[in-house]
């Protein structure tokens, strides 16, 4: 063993090194290290569930080995009576394992509809805001293989296109932030094993068993399909092949934006050439979505159905002006101009 490697191992606190020596945990860590493969500081999103606690442990080891700064953020949505107590307990448990963390609280009125979707957006807003404060662009999320399959079926039921079906990717860039999912190839049960073995603790969120949520219903559906012979390995290959196809589409979207738009940073306006709307529909849809995100400075895209209506009107020459995603899209003579809404 080299002196350099010996010094790195000596930096890992003894109680963490002992946990890492477990054969099963060491195997998962090696895959984690290979999947993450970054040399920049990062933020780690922690919820207190087994997935995020496993992520916290693996990320801590990675940060020590690579000599990087890792900021651990616990998001308290305050959607359940015990959420704050759970966040504080999670913070204390992490601290006993040499992991300093900060609790981010969602302050404000809570929704009665689309609770999980809105909570997800609020969580990202909090994570983005604090990563900006730290001047860090990499955010680690605890999504795993089970989440990947659940997301696939949820998007399929909602009639999502190619990009939606494979939206839970290993790496996604949103407004200059890199959302990284180094556990996307891991099974939930293996992450639960790590959380139990390392911390002897994790939070059980009762909403995971609440049948009123679509995700819970999908989870049950997948379990039933597995009993009837669903081959997860083949499903994984299908999703992987769809990702390859998506990469091809993204190539042409990038080409369309580069060739057929002119962006004025000073005036915060995007001038769109006629050729922009002469591409296949999927290319136009994604190009328009990216254009609106760029000008409107939004983290998330506008809804696809609204974009389709705008595109249809533009092609049929019945479009004049519309507000969407913090932008004003208007037709000036024969040119489409996208500007930031005041």
Average pLDDT over residues 41-68: 96
User: Angle at CA 119, nearest 5°, toward 301 and 146?
Assistant: 85
Contact by Cβ (8 Å): 262, 295: no
Q: What is the pLDDT of residue 10?
A: 52
Q: Are residues 216 and 264 in the same domain?
A: no
- The SS3 of residue 160 is coil
95 compared with 213, residue with greater pLDDT: 95
Per residue in 96-136, pLDDT (tens digit) is: 999 999 999 998 888 878 887 888 889 999 999 999 999 99
Average pLDDT over residues 38-67: 96
Residue with tokens 């039921």: 157
pTM confidence score = 0.82
Give 215's pLDDT tier (boundaries 50, 70, 90).
confident
Give 289's pLDDT tier (boundaries 50, 70, 90).
very high
CATH of the domain at 55: 3.40.50.620
Average pLDDT over residues 170-189: 92
| Residue 235 forms part of a structural domain | no
User: DSSP assignment of 195-221, as one string?
Assistant: HHHHHS-----GGGG-TTSHHHHHHHH
Q: Is the pLDDT of residue 261 over 90?
A: yes
Query: Nearest to residue 44, comparing CAs of 154, 130, 146?
Result: 130
Average pLDDT, the chain: 90
Q: Are residues 36 and 83 in the same domain?
A: yes
Give 334's pLDDT tier (boundaries 50, 70, 90).
confident
Give the separation between CA 316 and CA 119, rounded to whole angstroms: 38
Contact by Cβ (8 Å): 258, 274: no
Average pLDDT over residues 289-297: 90
Q: Are residues 273 and 210 in the same domain?
A: no
| Residue 71 forms part of a structural domain | yes
Give 149's pLDDT tier (boundaries 50, 70, 90).
very high
Contact by Cβ (8 Å): 340, 296: yes
How many domains does the chain contain in total?
2
Q: What is the pLDDT of residue 176?
A: 85
Q: What is the pLDDT of residue 6?
A: 47
| Residue 248 forms part of a structural domain | no
Instruction: Residue 267: give the domain boundaries.
Output: 256-340
Give the separation between CA 53 and CA 44, rounded to whole angstroms: 10
Q: Are residues 262 and 158 in the same domain?
A: no
Out of 195, 214, 230, a domain closes at: 230
Q: Are residues 172 and 305 in the same domain?
A: no
Distance of CA 172 to the CA centre of its chain: 7
Give the separation between CA 340 and CA 266, rounded to whole angstroms: 11
Q: Are residues 267 and 201 in the same domain?
A: no
| Residue 189 forms part of a structural domain | yes
Q: Are residues 166 and 277 in the same domain?
A: no
- The SS3 of residue 239 is helix
Q: Is the pLDDT of residue 163 over 70?
A: yes
Q: Is the pLDDT of residue 1 over 70?
A: no
Q: Are residues 51 and 168 in the same domain?
A: yes
Task: Indicate the helix (H) or strand (E) that contains 97.
Answer: none
| Residue 247 forms part of a structural domain | no
Q: For 49, what's the count of Cα atoms within 13 Å in the CB-facing half-sphere?
A: 18
Contact by Cβ (8 Å): 186, 33: no
Q: What number of other Cβ atoms are within 10 A of residue 341's Cβ?
A: 12
Contact by Cβ (8 Å): 253, 283: yes
Report long-range pairs for 197-200 (Cβ below 8 Å, ≥24 apart).
197/19, 197/22, 197/25, 198/16, 198/19, 198/25, 198/53, 198/54, 198/57, 198/97, 199/53, 199/57, 199/93, 199/94, 199/97
Query: Nearest to residue 290, comparing CAs of 270, 274, 268?
Result: 270
Q: Is the pLDDT of residue 137 over 80?
A: yes
Q: Is the pLDDT of residue 298 over 90?
A: no
Q: Are residues 197 and 268 in the same domain?
A: no
Average pLDDT over residues 149-154: 92
Q: What is the pLDDT of residue 230?
A: 82
Residue with tokens 């404000």: 108
Give the separation between CA 12 and CA 66, rounded to whole angstroms: 11
């Amino acid at each position: 063993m080299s002196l350099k490697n010996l010094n790195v191992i000596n930096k890992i606190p003894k109680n963490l090194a002992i946990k890492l020596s477990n054969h099963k945990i060491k195997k998962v860590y090696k895959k984690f290290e290979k999947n993450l493969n970054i040399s920049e500081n990062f933020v780690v999103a922690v919820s207190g569930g087994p997935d995020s606690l496993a992520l916290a442990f693996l990320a801590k080891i990675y940060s020590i080995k690579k000599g990087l700064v890792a900021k651990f953020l616990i998001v308290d949505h305050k959607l359940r009576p015990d959420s704050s107590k759970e966040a504080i307990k999670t913070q204390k448990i992490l601290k006993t394992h040499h992991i300093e963390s900060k609790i981010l609280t969602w302050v404000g009125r809570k929704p009665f509809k689309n609770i999980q979707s809105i909570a997800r957006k609020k969580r990202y807003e909090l994570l983005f805001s604090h990563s900006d404060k730290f001047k860090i662009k990499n955010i680690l999320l605890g999504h795993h293989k089970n989440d990947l399959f659940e997301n696939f079926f949820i998007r399929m039921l909602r009639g999502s296109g190619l990009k939606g079906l494979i939206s839970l990717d290993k790496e996604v860039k949103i407004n200059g932030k890199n959302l990284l999912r180094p556990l996307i190839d891991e099974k939930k049960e293996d992450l639960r094993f790590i959380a139990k073995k390392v911390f002897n603790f994790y939070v059980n969120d009762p909403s995971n068993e609440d049948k009123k949520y679509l995700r819970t219903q999908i989870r049950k559906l997948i379990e039933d399909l597995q009993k009837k012979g669903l081959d997860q390995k083949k499903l994984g290959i299908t999703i992987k092949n769809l990702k390859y196809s998506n990469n091809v589409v993204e190539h042409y979207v990038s080409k369309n934006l580069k060739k057929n738009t002119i962006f004025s940073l000073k005036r915060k306006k995007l001038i769109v050439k006629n050729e922009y709307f002469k591409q296949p529909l999927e290319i136009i849809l994604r190009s328009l979505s990216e254009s609106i995100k760029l000008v409107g400075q939004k983290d998330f895209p506008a809804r696809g159905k609204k974009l389709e209506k705008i595109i249809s009107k533009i092609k049929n020459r019945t479009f004049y002006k519309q507000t969407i995603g913090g932008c004003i899209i208007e037709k000036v003579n024969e040119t489409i101009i996208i500007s930031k809404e005041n």
